[in-house]
Structure 1
């Protein structure tokens, strides 16, 4: 059984803390975000929670399902021992999805119709894999995209796995008053960030803020369990893509809940270090350092986001541009601090402004001017 995700909570205070509310206006804005309850179901204990005091002030122990996975190669039919919430796909030879397809098999053995793979989304555009909602299927069959080589797939169950007990701070976490779900509060398994030898797969690196890029995840709209979707994206990015973490700095579901993305340590606000520099994510290949990525859950090629998600995005972007002192309606020259590559973009851009992709969807892309105006005017 799945219940909604836990309320957002704070982490330990520091020079720039995750729990500090800077300014009364931000605190008022936070009230518009729905406070979720915990998403739990499942008997392994998270190492971060082991040996800690359950009665420690400011924390609570929540239970989340450990993500289970089964991998396969090629196009042969796949049957799994787990109910499949999502199928992750990755291939070489092309970054196109044309000609590719999937059909799902229900638990009763009935076979679904072939469905195209869609536009591929952010991850494929950045050289990673594709995530497809599978609605608790028992198996699937694939057609590789035209020109694809080395097709690999992974079946993911993010809702029915064994219990993981996680320490979650009991007070709301906020970015200048805008409430969000911390990584712990949406059930991020921090072990996924590490290699078998214990080293961090993608150690954090921080650079001064330059721009914000808006994405859509190109997944199913009206997802019944958005926190499970975030955990699936995390697994795809961290393990299947071998990026070591989720690629975005923040994600927003259709109910307006904001999720902390890329790990940035314990000393600053989410996505930042204590000095206000931005942790490098994995959302725009070649232009990631200093570029803060926000992804809306869903596909917005033919429809726009729901009003709750739109409002949450506006509030979040507004506090970020104020934090960094930039003009949300400006054109800027982004300069990659690692290799000097430059790109002229809007201060608030869409993924397609950086590279060839449909992201963040045609309808959402057309809304970016409206977003810039709303952020600038406070309306």
Structure 2
């Protein structure tokens, strides 16, 4: 949204103020959106650095303003984040009062709270775009039968009330809409933006030959039990198979310690997405995306690793009984296993590492569909939606 006016023969361009409000260090999904919007809006990124170990760096154009708010807070413990959230909110509100944004792009429930608080108290015509990349556990609670489920229902009530006034709801999986948001958000506010990669970035990918068959996990290290299952499976096979793990996250330290003394594992650690992601995929033959299926969000999520593997023509190992697993099976781009069955995983690893023909079939099937999963075309959809607000 821009306004052009003439003054003394010169053109003066007024760009609407937009704040990107994050409860975490910017990830590739958010950075892609900033790139899409930065030529049309004056962007300020406000993000919460919670002091977590192994944090990854990021790159952003100098044309954007960046405000880091450092308040220590644990990951995965909502109750213990209440006081840190209050501290973060006070600082964020002070920035928002100075910026007076036309738009606030709020990523997740915590940031929707902050954005709604600012709008209701200080600037009622602020437009809020609410983005949800993962459905939190409280979204799946249907009834009240404990203190925990009572708290979950309270969060649902608060979220329903806040979403009445949002201008747009962005989801990374259409199944988040079906499962939860369709019950209380008007459909004309809903926008599905899959977390797909930039063609401009991934066109640099070149397939490499590996002497040792390599299974890769690239991204946030969270699902420790499933990663340990992979490590144990490869360890027991005693074959010519290597594991490559790149990224940080809440499970990074535990997996690093579990991998000590196992020379078939390479722990790469945190990485810079823009500079390193393509070279990381060049190190692997198969992408491992088996997550904890006891978590309902996992069953209906479509992670960015799916799309990144597809555009690199890399077969994927996913979990049965999930939307991701069904996508893999329907498109024949890899295999699916029970997320708790090590023996089944061992059987498939033996097959994949020993069958070039099967790998080639999966690679060709990825190649057939990859043109559908680049961000460039989707970025225009996002821009158009903002322009219509």
What band does the TM-score fall into relative to the shorter chain?
Answer: under 0.3
Q: Which one has a larger percent strand, Structure 1 or Structure 2?
A: 1
**Which protein has the larger Cα radius of gyration, Structure 1 or Structure 2?**
2
